[in-house]
Structure 1
Amino acid sequence: MREIVFDTETTGLDPRSGDRMVEIGCIELVNRVPTGRTFHAYFNPDRPMPIEAEQVHGLGDAFLADKPRFHEGVLDLLEFLADSPLVAHNAQFDFGFLNCELGACGHPEVSLERMIDTLAIARRRHPGAKHSLDSLCTRYGIDRSHRVRHGALLDAELLAQVYVELTGGRQIGLELAAQHTETVIEIAAFAPTRREFRAPRPHAASAEELARHKAFVETLESPLWTS
């Protein structure tokens, strides 16, 4: 099964207010294993970059000035995405920007039925814990020491590892191996053991034994059952 893990960087939080996508990074997975194929692009948003957003991802006006507009790279992006499920962290945010950009240049929106939200998965698996990408990397022992700032492709690479852990982790490899290994267990047929019949032994005390017991009891001083 082919899946695409992706992340975006933007000028702000709300595409409906005019915020734009400025970077997208995509990682291809097949059967939850990275294939090495990626898609990465920067876009000129045709609007100034707010300082608050630039402090998050480091993409300023000077850097983005010579980058293509979204409509100039959209066909390459759509070819890479194809019809695969799309995995993102807080996916409503990324889908909102992706679909807004697609709509602005006359392309159909990506169906939300293709959306896989790792934030929702993490909340179900680890209720009450922290669910940021950084926190999940720490939980699963994923190295993020090279993540100084947000970056779409880098974050998609980290998220791909988190997604694999959230959906089975190393157990996936064991399951795939099990599909190709036939295990035969031989069970010995049960055969009850035949035993020789023995008549029950007499268990009542003899007259002599009863007499000896009575004589012994009479020697006891102040027995409990007489008090």
Structure 2
Amino acid sequence: MSRNTHSCIIVDDNEIDRLTALAHARQYPILDVVSVFESATEALPFLQNRSVDVALLDVDMPGLSGLELRANLMQIPVCVFITAYPDYAADSFAVDAFDYLVKPIRAERFGHTMNRIERFFDLTRKAHLFDLSLGADTVFIKDGHQQIKLNLHEIVYLEGLKDYTRIVTSMHQYTVLSSIGNLLQNQPFQSFLRIHRSYAVQRHFIDRVDAQHVHAHQFRLPIGRSYRSTLDSIGFNT
């Protein structure tokens, strides 16, 4: 996995929260914090003249909110909202939030986000090598000049990461330039069950379901709260 650094800004009107986010960010060499701002209004001119890779934004700020700032700067690849208000989650994903953290920040949860960010940038560098074509019961993954044929029934789960999807079998992982939502609209993927905004699992691989995870083959996948009822309705209740 790549250890390249990615430019980052932090925007929060609360000094303690701002310093807390900065302290967490400095624990991860993948982030190069280039500037810290007390308001979205202050950050906007800076970002209109300079590109960054990652933005860690508070939501509820005077003047211009974090959501409004993001709406003006959709070209930033990764936007993570850090807020005391969980009710803004749906609005944040409407402006293509990469993740949504609720204050106070927990080190473990922040670390999970950093791992996802690192994987995302690693995948974006590699995804141009891959293409996807669908057959009746097969997927062809194009890796450079080589085509790899996968049987659909061998795919355990899909993991979405913005515009890319990781296709995972019991032995290998592949990445295609297609969002998980678009992929699941294709008829060959109708046997996959969406269990999370970022995950879909093939039903016949599900071994058991507990309160927070689906266990499929040797993998443990998170269940999104809004998808819990879907699992219950088809008999995968704990």
Shorter-normalised TM-score: what interval?
under 0.3
* Greater RCO, CA 8 A, separation 6+: 1
Q: Give the structure with the higher percent helix.
A: 1
User: Who wins on radius of gyration, i.e. which is larger?
Assistant: 1
TM-score by length of 2: 0.25
Q: Give the structure with the higher percent strand.
A: 2
TM-score by length of 1: 0.26
